[in-house]
């Protein structure tokens, strides 16, 4: 028998329809797992498959949708029985295939959920191994509403079988997955992972899928599957039914086929009659597989960024080179600093963020994986994974949710040998540097030649030319006067090769005064030469000015809408700064909770005041004022927290001006929500206030074991510990923590707080202080360290 | 497989007036209090919430005292049993604000504790308000006791799992559970709402 991927080149193929719908009509009670019938009612399952093959389906889905090792201890037997039933039905038929059906695990992956990415891969891998042993013809990953889980399932399928892999996701009426991805993002990721067919199923009827099919037609070079529901469920005569009938369904399927759907079938509510009508109506329609699309794109878990005529900004700020604060954050594992840089660059208008965490003294791979995962919880921009180490690249590409941009490969044999297989396996846009064993050529022609060689070699690895973005390297103009000219000529020549280009812009001005002048002028020249991507500093107004002005001048910004919005916002900021200059003081800015003004005022004060003076004479008195107002119920918690935010922002400015070795770690507190308790709002409020008062906070999070709290206090020589609990059931854990701390070092003092506590409880469990609210805890800490 | 008797309710955030009592309680402010921060966070939240509810109408059989059998799960709970007195049918529902709220909170946790705290409070009030809205739609002119959720009284949280499974809440709403039966998206609700029998109606 031909492979399904061969057959689909010749003619349109068809999936079966709903499983549950038919099984319920055969007597399966609502709410019972249909998969159990593989063992208990195999005759019914075979009958189901036979009905669909008879209706004209080429592929039946095995009755294994919900099976995995987490849900069924006997998952292997259930899978084997499910595949056996489908193969029995397919036996002796022409063009009849068995798709091993794999649905979601039902758990959300990290960082928002609890399931680790590799655990998800492992769960799916066990399913795939069982399916391969039993002789499935292909793997169908279906009803996936999360791009990340989809990736885990595809990797498991690819790493444990040679079978064709088909994937269908669940889109909502807005054309997005539950976790946010649109079709372009899913197509980018899935084509990178080299699936054999992709598309959509479930949730929507064929009418609503018509609104989305155009996106697939536009972006997909891979055959598109459409398996809709029979419309939406509604109640008729006390029974739930789907609202699209057989005839109407097949008429919509004709429109879908004409609109770009290659492989057709059904999902919930559809029966063999739906499939028979669909086959009858669509079999004679003209059919050809999708053409190869020429987009260069990368994606995040929500959207794709197309690299084309519209310039792409790649934020360079997460790279320790020349950034002492970032270096310090990486050494101490302070992800918050890095995430903040990510969020700020997102807000500043970047399209992609470069992530480079290479420092000799840290485990780069481990830190890169942590950063990629954490950044993807707070920004929806695609990331550019930037490392010279291939094992770091691989680990990050594996856990990345989407199709990453990979920085970089170069023309050396070693680099190509190491990096190409990664892009071949995981997918990705790839930055190619025009450097080889002999160094960086001095001429544009030399650089273009290396680019050609890299492209040719990449294609041998199955990497598409469109996925290569060449960086001809901007070298410092102060040491080489021809540098800018050569680089721009190389951009022009490399464009002619039919690939996109990128440059690290800032390097051009290294060693010169007023660098922004040179950098932004060079950027304007590069854009004019046709540069596609710039790795740049989005906080540089000069650079952003060039970007917005260039787009307005080159018909890339219809009606100059983006330019006008940018220019007005820049003007607003100037006005705010002017207002802050005249009206506000740091004190009033903090009391009113005005974060931006507080930063501006602190920046002014720091020029003429010692850091400690600002803390003691401006920040603390302002916090005390709002704190007192809160205690007297003249201000509410949101106001107190706004002020704390403003004070923290001011404090950050002060901290930047205190040399690292002089920062005061003596005023410190360990904070934790005790073991068994997951409520952390109260603890977090205390943390904010403590930090705004300048205390160093070691925040251990929630559900923390007593030993961990003790170890942290000992490690940092911290003599003050704050414990929080919301539930009565966790007060014993609090008592146990206090007992352990007392036993270890009686000089360690413990503040307790939380909804269930009062002075009496606090005394009973041996706490040193009962923090009635966050301010009260701060006051105690102030007195303790006075 | 997804069960075919599951119904869905969605709503535009603009149509749902957020529960002021819940908001005041969560933020520690007086009822009706508002300020620039609360207004700003509310507007932002309205742009990202994606209210969705799935529900089924199903019989409840009470063969023994304190035991309620819904077909897909049998619950031993005195509080639930009492709540469902006079009801031989119930609505079982799951509702969520959608995962974008979790992402926004994760971001605010880094950038602004004040906005994080306020947005968290507003989102709690929002899902509560949507639950009221969806319950009213289901109820129509029937009489129903107050909603009762796993985790209330002695109705164990462990019932979240069969409950969500039966409602297809993962496929339809994207709700998942961790090992402690806590839901993601974090602003999600599951609940049983009894339907008073005709003679009591």
Q: A155 in a domain, yes or no? A: yes
Maximum CA extent, chain B = 56
Predicted confidence band of residue A431 (pLDDT cuts 50, 70, 90): very high
Q: What is the pLDDT of residue A659?
A: 59
Same domain for A269 and A372, yes or no, is no
Kindly state the tokens that stand for A160: 């444990």
Answer yes or no: is pLDDT of B14 > 60. Answer: yes
- Mean pLDDT score, A193-217: 96
The Cα of A343 is separated from the nearest Cα of chain B by a number of Å equal to 8
- Mean pLDDT score, A632-643: 82
Count of domains for chain A: 4
Answer yes or no: is pLDDT of B1 > 60. Answer: no
Q: B153 in a domain, yes or no? A: yes
Same domain for A634 and A755, yes or no, is no
Nearest CA-CA partner of A307 in A539, A470, A194: A470
**What average pLDDT does the structure give for chain A?**
92
Q: What is the pLDDT of residue A678?
A: 66
Question: In whole angstroms, what is the distance from residue A394 CA to residue A399 CA?
Answer: 9
Answer yes or no: is pLDDT of A545 > 70. Answer: yes
Nearest CA-CA partner of A506 in A354, A630, A359, A367: A354
Name, in order, each residue with C-beta under 8 angstroms of A85's C-beta and a sequence gap of 6 or more.
A38, A42, A45, A46, A49, A62, A63
Same domain for A524 and A597, yes or no, is no
Residue B170's closest chain A neighbor by CA? A106
Predicted confidence band of residue A161 (pLDDT cuts 50, 70, 90): very high
Beta-bridge partner residues of A737: none
Q: A713 in a domain, yes or no? A: yes
Verify whether the Cβ–Cβ distance B5 to A233 is below 8 Å: yes
Question: In whole angstroms, what is the distance from residue A245 CA to residue B2 CA?
Answer: 19
Q: A36 in a domain, yes or no? A: yes
Tokens 């594992």 -> residue: A333
3-state secondary structure of A171: coil
A233 φ/ψ sector (left φ>0, alpha ψ -120 to 50, else beta): beta
Answer yes or no: is pLDDT of A655 > 80. Answer: no
* Helix pair A364-378, A335-347: axis angle to 10 deg: 50
Nearest CA-CA partner of B21 in B33, B4, B9, B38: B33
Answer yes or no: are the C-beta atoms of B16 and B135 closer than 8 Å: no
Q: How far is CA A369 from CA A99, A123, A148, A401, in A?
A: 34, 21, 15, 12
Verify whether the Cβ–Cβ distance B29 to A644 is below 8 Å: no
Kindly state the tokens that stand for B68: 């309620």
- Mean pLDDT score, A331-359: 92
Question: In whole angstroms, what is the distance from residue A267 CA to residue A168 CA?
Answer: 11
Question: In whole angstroms, what is the distance from residue A297 CA to residue A191 CA?
Answer: 11
Residue B172's closest chain A neighbor by CA? A203
Residues of A in contact with B115 (CB under 8 A): 645
- Mean pLDDT score, B126-135: 94
Which of A615, A634, A656 is the last residue in one of the domains? Answer: A656
Q: B2 in a domain, yes or no? A: no
A469 φ/ψ sector (left φ>0, alpha ψ -120 to 50, else beta): beta
Count of domains for chain B: 1
3-state secondary structure of A27: coil
Name, in order, each residue with C-beta under 8 angstroms of A648's C-beta and a sequence gap of 6 or more.
A688, A691, A692, B113
Segment 45-74 of chain B within 8 Å of chain A by CB? 50, 71-72
The Cα of A645 is separated from the nearest Cα of chain B by a number of Å equal to 6
Verify whether the Cβ–Cβ distance A66 to B1 is below 8 Å: yes
- Give the per-residue SS3 of chain B: CCCCCCEEEEECHHHCCCCHHHHHHHHCCCCCCCCHHHHHHHHHHHHHCCEEEEEEEEECECCCCCEEECCCCEEECHHHHHHCCCEEEEEEEEEECCCHHHHHHHHHHHHCHHHHHHHHHHHHHHHHHHHHHHHHHHHCCCCCCCCECCCCCCCCHHHHHHHHHHCCHHHHHCCEECCCCCEECCCEEEEEEEEECHHHC
Highest mean pLDDT among A234-238, A642-646, B11-15, B98-102: B98-102
Answer yes or no: are the C-beta atoms of A293 and A221 closer than 8 Å: yes
CB A286: neighbour CB atoms within 10 A? 7
Q: A544 in a domain, yes or no? A: no
What DSSP assignment string belongs to A461-514?
Answer: TT--GGGEEEE--PPPTTT-TTHHHHHHHHHHHHHHTT-EEEEE-GGGGTTSSS
CA–CA–CA angle B73, B150, B27 (5° rounding): 160
Same domain for A603 and A712, yes or no, is no
| CATH number of A177's domain | 3.20.20.330
Kindly state the tokens that stand for B50: 């994606």
Same domain for A702 and A728, yes or no, is yes
Nearest CA-CA partner of A38 in A95, A86, A90: A86
Residues of A in contact with B180 (CB under 8 A): 678
* Helix pair A637-656, A595-606: axis angle to 10 deg: 30
Question: In whole angstroms, what is the distance from residue A93 CA to residue A55 CA?
Answer: 13
Kindly state the tokens that stand for A529: 């030469």
Same domain for A324 and A275, yes or no, is no
Verify whether the Cβ–Cβ distance A31 to B166 is below 8 Å: yes
| CATH number of A336's domain | 3.20.20.20
Answer yes or no: is pLDDT of A665 > 90. Answer: no
Answer yes or no: is pLDDT of B6 > 70. Answer: yes
Verify whether the Cβ–Cβ distance A112 to B184 is below 8 Å: yes
Answer yes or no: are the C-beta atoms of A197 and A166 closer than 8 Å: yes
Does B184 contact chain A (CB < 8 Å)? Answer: yes
Verify whether the Cβ–Cβ distance B114 to A641 is below 8 Å: yes
User: A201, A379, A638, A643: best mutation site toward chain B, by most B Cβ within 10 Å?
Assistant: A638
- Mean pLDDT score, A156-162: 98
Same domain for A431 and A460, yes or no, is yes
- Give backbone dihedrals phi and psi of A249, rounded to 5 degrees, phi first: -60, -50
Same domain for A472 and A601, yes or no, is no
Kindly state the tokens that stand for B118: 């306020």
Report the predicted TM-score, pTM, of the whole model to 2 decimal places. 0.85
Question: In whole angstroms, what is the distance from residue A148 CA to residue A105 CA?
Answer: 12
Maximum CA extent, chain A = 89
Does B134 contact chain A (CB < 8 Å)? Answer: no
Q: What is the pLDDT of residue A609?
A: 87
* Domain span including residue A756: 665-785
Residue A201's closest chain B neighbor by CA? B171
Q: A551 in a domain, yes or no? A: no
The helix, strand and coil proportions of chain A, stated in percent and rounded to the nearest 5, come to: 50, 15, 35
Same domain for A42 and A180, yes or no, is yes
| CATH number of A637's domain | 1.10.1240.10
Residues of B in contact with A337 (CB under 8 A): none
Which of A504, A539, A574 is the last residue in one of the domains? Answer: A539
- Give backbone dihedrals phi and psi of A452, rounded to 5 degrees, phi first: -60, -40
Name, in order, each residue with C-beta under 8 angstroms of A445's C-beta and a sequence gap of 6 or more.
A493
Answer yes or no: is pLDDT of A759 > 70. Answer: yes
Question: In whole angstroms, what is the distance from residue A77 CA to residue A81 CA?
Answer: 6
Which of A233, A257, A282 is the last residue in one of the domains? Answer: A282
Q: How far is CA B158 from CA A329, B75, B76, B148, B179, in A?
A: 40, 10, 12, 14, 10
Kindly state the tokens that stand for A561: 């809408």
| CATH number of B61's domain | 3.40.109.40
- Mean pLDDT score, A331-349: 90
Q: What is the pLDDT of residue A583?
A: 64
Does B28 contact chain A (CB < 8 Å)? Answer: yes
Of A233, A378, A685, the CB nearest to B7: A233
Residue-wise pLDDT tens digits, A255-265: 999 999 999 99
Strand order in the sheet with B51-59: B7-11, B51-59, B87-96, B188-196
Does B170 contact chain A (CB < 8 Å)? Answer: yes
Residue-wise pLDDT tens digits, A83-101: 999 999 999 999 999 999 9
Nearest CA-CA partner of A21 in A55, A54, A48, A2: A48
Question: In whole angstroms, what is the distance from residue A698 CA to residue A670 CA?
Answer: 5
Answer yes or no: is pLDDT of B2 > 50. Answer: no
- Give backbone dihedrals phi and psi of A478, rounded to 5 degrees, phi first: -70, -30
- Mean pLDDT score, A689-709: 87
Same domain for A207 and A82, yes or no, is yes
Of A21, A35, A114, the CB nearest to B4: A21
Q: What is the pLDDT of residue A232?
A: 83
Q: A564 in a domain, yes or no? A: no
User: B10, B54, B103: best mutation site toward chain A, by most A Cβ within 10 Å?
Assistant: B103
Residue-wise pLDDT tens digits, A4-54: 999 999 999 999 999 987 998 899 887 788 999 999 999 999 999 999 999
- Mean pLDDT score, A499-524: 96
3-state secondary structure of A234: strand
Of A24, A114, A242, the CB nearest to B179: A114
Same domain for A650 and A670, yes or no, is no
Percentage above 90 pLDDT, chain A? 71
What DSSP assignment string belongs to A348-374?
Answer: TT-SEEEE----TTS-HHHHHHHHHHH
Q: A545 in a domain, yes or no? A: no
Percentage above 70 pLDDT, chain B? 97
* Domain span including residue B129: 7-200
Residues of A in contact with B177 (CB under 8 A): 106-107
A781 φ/ψ sector (left φ>0, alpha ψ -120 to 50, else beta): alpha
A302-A308-A311-A315 Cα dihedral, nearest 10 degrees: 40
Radius of gyration of chain A (CA): 30
Residue A338's closest chain B neighbor by CA? B110
Q: How far is CA A461 from CA A247, A292, A410, A417, A457, in A?
A: 47, 18, 15, 10, 7
Beta-bridge partner residues of B7: B55
Q: How far is CA A401 from CA A111, A178, A343, A579, B111, in A?
A: 11, 14, 17, 43, 23
Same domain for A159 and A101, yes or no, is yes
Please give the interface size between A and B, counted as residue pairs whose CB atoms are below 8 Å apart: 147
Of B100, B114, B171, the CB nearest to A642: B114
Predicted confidence band of residue A613 (pLDDT cuts 50, 70, 90): confident
Question: In whole angstroms, what is the distance from residue A62 CA to residue A135 CA?
Answer: 12
């Amino acid at each position: 028998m031909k492979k399904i991927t061969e057959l689909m080149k010749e003619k349109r193929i068809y999936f079966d329809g709903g499983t549950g719908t038919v099984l319920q009509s055969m007597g399966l009670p609502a709410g019972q797992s249909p998969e159990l019938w593989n063992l208990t009612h195999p005759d019914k399952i075979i009958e189901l498959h036979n009905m669909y093959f008879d209706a004209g389906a080429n592929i039946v889905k095995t009755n294994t949708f919900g099976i995995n090792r987490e849900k069924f201890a006997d998952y292997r037997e259930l899978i084997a029985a499910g595949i056996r039933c489908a193969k029995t039905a397919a036996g002796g038929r022409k063009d009849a295939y068995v798709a091993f059906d794999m649905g979601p695990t039902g758990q959300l992956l990290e960082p928002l959920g609890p399931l680790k990415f590799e655990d998800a891969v492992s769960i799916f891998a066990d399913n795939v191994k069982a399916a391969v042993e039993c002789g499935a013809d292909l793997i169908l990953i279906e009803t996936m509403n999360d791009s990340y889980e989809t990736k885990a399932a595809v990797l498991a399928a690819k790493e444990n079988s040679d079978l064709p892999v088909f994937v269908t996701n669940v889109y909502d009426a807005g054309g997005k997955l539950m976790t946010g991805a649109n079709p372009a993002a899913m197509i980018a990721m899935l084509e990178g992972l080299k699936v054999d067919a992709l598309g959509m199923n479930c949730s929507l009827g064929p009418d609503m899928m018509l609104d989305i099919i155009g996106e697939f037609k536009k972006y997909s070079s891979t055959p598109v599957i459409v398996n809709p529901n029979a419309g939406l469920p509604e109640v008729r005569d006390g029974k739930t039914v789907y609202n699209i009938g057989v005839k109407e369904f097949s008429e919509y399927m004709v429109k879908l086929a004409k609109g770009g759907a290659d492989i057709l079938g059904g999902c919930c509510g559809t029966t063999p009659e739906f499939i028979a009508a669909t086959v009858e109506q669509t079999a004679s329609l003209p059919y050809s597989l999708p053409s190869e699309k020429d987009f260069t794109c990368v994606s995040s878990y929500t959207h794709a960024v197309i690299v084309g005529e519209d310039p792409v900004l790649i934020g360079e700020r997460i790279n320790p080179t020349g950034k002492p604060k970032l270096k310090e954050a990486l050494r101490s594992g302070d992800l918050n600093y890095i995430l903040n840089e990510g969020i700020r660059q997102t807000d500043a208008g970047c399209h992609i963020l470069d992530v480079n965490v290479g420092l000799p003294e840290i485990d780069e791979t481990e830190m890169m994986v942590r950063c990629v995962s954490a950044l993807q919880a707070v920004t929806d921009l695609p990331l550019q994974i930037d490392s010279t180490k291939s094992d770091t690249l691989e680990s990050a590409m594996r856990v990345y949710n989407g199709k990453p941009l990979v920085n970089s490969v170069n023309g050396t044999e070693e680099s190509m040998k190491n990096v190409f297989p990664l892009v071949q396996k995981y997918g990705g846009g790839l930055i190619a540097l025009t450097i080889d064993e002999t160094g960086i050529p001095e001429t544009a022609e030399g650089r273009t030649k290396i680019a050609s060689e890299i492209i040719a070699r990449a294609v041998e690895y199955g990497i598409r030319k469109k996925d290569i973005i060449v960086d001809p390297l901007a070298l410092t103009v102060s040491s080489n006067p021809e540098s800018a000219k050569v680089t721009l000529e190389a951009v022009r020549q490399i464009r002619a090769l039919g690939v996109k280009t990128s440059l690290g812009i800032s390097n051009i001005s290294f060693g010169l005064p007023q660098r922004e002048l040179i950098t932004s002028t060079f950027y304007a020249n590069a854009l004019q030469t046709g540069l596609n991507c710039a790795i740049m500093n989005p906080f540089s107004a000069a650079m952003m000015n060039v970007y917005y002005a260039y787009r307005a001048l080159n018909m890339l910004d219809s009606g100059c809408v983006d330019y006008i919005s940018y220019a007005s916002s820049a003007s607003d900021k100037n006005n705010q700064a002017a207002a802050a200059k005249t009206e506000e003081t740091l004190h009033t800015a903090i009391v009113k909770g005005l974060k931006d003004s507080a930063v501006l005022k602190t920046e002014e004060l720091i020029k003429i005041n010692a850091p400690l003076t600002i803390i003691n004479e401006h920040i603390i008195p302002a916090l005390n004022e709002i704190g007192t107002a809160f205690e007297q119920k003249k201000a509410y918690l949101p106001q107190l927290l706004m002020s704390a935010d403003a004070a923290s922002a001011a404090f950050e400015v002060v901290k930047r001006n205190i040399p690292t070795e002089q920062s005061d770690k003596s005023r410190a507190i360990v904070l934790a929500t005790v073991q068994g308790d997951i409520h952390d709002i109260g603890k977090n409020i205390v943390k904010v206030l403590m930090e705004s008062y300048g205390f160093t906070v070691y925040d251990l999070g929630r559900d923390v074991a007593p030993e961990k709290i003790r170890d942290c206090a000992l490690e940092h020589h911290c003599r003050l510990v704050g414990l929080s609990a919301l539930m009565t059931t966790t007060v014993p854990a609090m008592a146990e923590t206090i007992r352990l701390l007392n036993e270890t070092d009686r000089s360690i003092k413990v503040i307790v707080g939380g909804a269930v506590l009062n002075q009496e409880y606090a005394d009973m469990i041996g706490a040193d202080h009962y923090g009635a609210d966050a301010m009260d805890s701060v006051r105690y800490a102030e007195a303790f360290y006075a | 497989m997804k069960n075919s008797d599951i119904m869905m309710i969605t709503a535009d955030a603009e149509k749902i007036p957020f529960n002021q009592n819940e908001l005041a309680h969560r933020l520690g402010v007086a009822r009706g209090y508002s300020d620039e921060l609360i207004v700003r966070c509310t507007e932002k939240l309205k742009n990202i919430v994606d209210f969705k509810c799935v529900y089924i109408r199903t019989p409840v059989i009470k063969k023994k005292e304190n035991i309620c059998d819904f077909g897909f799960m049998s619950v031993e709970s005195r509080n639930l049993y009492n709540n469902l007195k006079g009801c031989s049918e119930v609505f079982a529902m799951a509702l969520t604000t959608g995962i974008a709220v979790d992402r926004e909170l994760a971001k605010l946790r880094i950038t602004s504790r004040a906005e994080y705290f306020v947005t968290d409070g507003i989102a709690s009030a929002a899902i509560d308000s949507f639950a009221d809205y969806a319950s009213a739609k289901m109820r129509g002119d029937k009489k129903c006791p107050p909603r009762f959720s796993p985790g209330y009284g002695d109705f164990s949280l462990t019932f979240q799992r069969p409950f969500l499974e039966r409602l297809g809440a993962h496929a339809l709403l994207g709700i998942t559970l961790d090992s402690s039966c806590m839901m993601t998206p974090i602003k999600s609700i599951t609940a049983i709402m009894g339907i008073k029998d005709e003679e009591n109606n």
